[in-house]
Amino acid sequence: MKFNFKYLELEFIESAAEFNQCLHHDMQEIAFVGASNAGKSSAINAISNQKKLAKTSKTPGKTKLFNFFKAKNGYIVDFPGYGYSKVSKSQKGLG
């Protein structure tokens, strides 16, 4: 079986530290949400055929901001992971 797959042309637009600081627009969004180190950023890199568009790491908790990438007809949003990550309690907002 042959697949006819086209990579998305994505461009990094901005990051936001908190949800209320996120980009406001009238376009569709696809959000990548999931546990820490689940491969959300790697998936964004794969669908765009760009190895370093979204920052990745073997260490959980690398993505700390909401990252917006512009596509032709909307946005891709890379959410921070939830669950385990190697950061201090103060960085998690617990201290």
CATH number assigned to the domain comprising residue 78: 3.40.50.300
69 within a domain of the structure (yes/no): yes
- pLDDT on residue 29: 94
Residues 27-63: pLDDT tens digits? 999 999 999 999 999 999 999 999 999 999 888 888 8
CA distance 21 to 39: 24
CA distance 95 to 82: 18
Range of the domain at 90: 8-16+28-95
